[in-house]
Structure 1
Amino acid sequence: MIGDDNMRLPKSLKKSLPLLGDIRRQQSEALKEDRSLSLSEVQFLTHVLANGSEHAQSFLGQVSFVKVVSHCRCGCPTINFEVSREAERGHSDGRVVVDLLGRTPDGGQVGILVFADDGFLSELEIYELDELPHPFPLPTLESLHLFEAAITKG
C-alpha cells in the first residue's frame, strides 16, 4: 500500500507520497461539480489508460461515459468521477488502475493515480512530489512513466 513503512522506497519519495487517509480527506473536502471531462482531461485519461497495463486498457471504453462530480479544492488537477452504468465494467487487481510519475509543463514532478471502484473509474488523482504553485496543470504526456520503473532505477 502507498505510504506503507515496509516499502523499500527512498526516504525523500516516501515522504512525498499521499497517504490513503489524506486522499480520503481530500475527497471529503472536494468541491462539487457536474460536468463532462474537458478535452485535455479526455486526452490525458485516454492516454494513461491506453498506455497502461492490460487491466488499465479494460477501462478505456468508460472514458466517454465519465462525468466529473467534484475536484480537489487545493488547486491540483485531481477530479472525481461518476461513470454511467451503461459502460462496460473494467477489470483490475485492486482499486488503483494506473500508477505513474510525470512532470508538469514547468518541470514539477507529480504522481498520477487512476482509481476504480467496483469496475468503474472513480478518480484521477494528481499529487505533487515537488512544491508546486497552485493551481498546477496536468503533466505532459511525454513525461509519463510507470511508478515501478522509477523505483527500480532510483
Structure 2
Amino acid sequence: MSTEHNRPLTDAERDLARWMLEHGTEEARQYLDQLKLAEVTPWRCRCGCASINFQIKGHAEAPPGAQILGEFLLSDGDLQSGVFIYSSGGLLSGIEVYGLVGDAPALLPRPQNLSAFEFGSS
C-alpha cells in the first residue's frame, strides 16, 4: 500500500493552472475557486511526462473522464506539444501534456511559452 500523500501545488504549477483557466473556455474561470483548494496527487504517468492530477480538498476524488477547460500549444524548436487543463464531474482534475511531434514534455510549460491551440490553421 502506498504511503504517498497529496502535496500542495508549487508556485509554477499554480501559476500555470491559473493562466490556463483564465485563458480557457468560457466556463473555465468558474474553476478558479477550486484551484485554491487543489492539491497534486502522487499519481505519475508511466511515460514520464509532466502531467499532474488534482484532488480538491474536502471532495472525493474526481470520477474518470475529462472535460477540457483550456487547451494550448507549446512549441520548442521543431518539437510541438499540447497541454490542457480539465475537469471531471464538476471538479478540477488535472493538467495533461502530450507530444504532437516528439515525446510529451517532461516538465510543465510556463504560461508565456503557450499559445492558443487553433485547429485547422495552415
The TM-score normalised by the length of structure 1 is: 0.62
Task: Please say if residues 102 and 140 of structure 1, whose CA atoms lie closer than 8 Å, have aligned partners that are also in contact.
Answer: no
Q: How many residues align?
A: 112
Partner of 1:39: 11
CA distance 1:65–1:53, shift in 2 (3 Å): same
CA distance 1:95–1:135, shift in 2 (3 Å): closer
Task: Please say if residues 97 and 105 of structure 2, whose CA atoms lie closer than 8 Å, have aligned partners that are also in contact.
Answer: no
SS at structure 2 position matched to 1:40? helix
CA-to-aligned-CA distance 1:7-52 (integer Å, 9 cap, x gap): xxxxxxxxxxxxxxxxxxxxxxxxx652111111111111111122
Q: Which amino acid in the other structure matches residue 72 of structure 1? A: C
Partner of 2:112: 142
* Pick aligned residue for 2:40 from 50, 57, 68: 68
| Sequence identity (%) | 29
Shift of 1:78: 0.3
Shift of 1:152: 3.3
Task: Please say if residues 109 and 128 of structure 1, whose CA atoms lie closer than 8 Å, have aligned partners that are also in contact.
Answer: yes
Gapped runs of 5+ residues in structure 2?
60-65
Q: Which amino acid in the other structure matches residue 80 of structure 1? A: N
Shift of 1:143: 2.8
What CA distance in whole angstroms lies between the structure 2 residues aligned with 1:36 and 1:107? 34
Are 2:85 and 1:117 equivalent residues in the alignment?
no
Gapped runs of 5+ residues in structure 1?
1-31, 87-93
SS at structure 2 position matched to 1:109? strand
Alignment of 1:72-151 (within 5 A): 72-85=45-58, 95-103=67-75, 108-132=79-103, 136-147=106-117, 149=118, 151=119
Task: Please say if residues 98 and 105 of structure 2, whose CA atoms lie closer than 8 Å, have aligned partners that are also in contact.
Answer: no
- Greater share of helix: 1
Aligned-pair RMSD on alpha carbons? 2.4
Q: Which amino acid in the other structure matches residue 95 of structure 1? A: Q
**Highest relative contact order (Cα 8 Å, sep 6+), 1 or 2?**
2
Instruction: Decide which structure has the larger Cα Rg and report it.
Output: 1
Partner of 1:51: 23
CA-to-aligned-CA distance 1:114-148 (integer Å, 9 cap, x gap): 1211211112101111224x86222232232222x
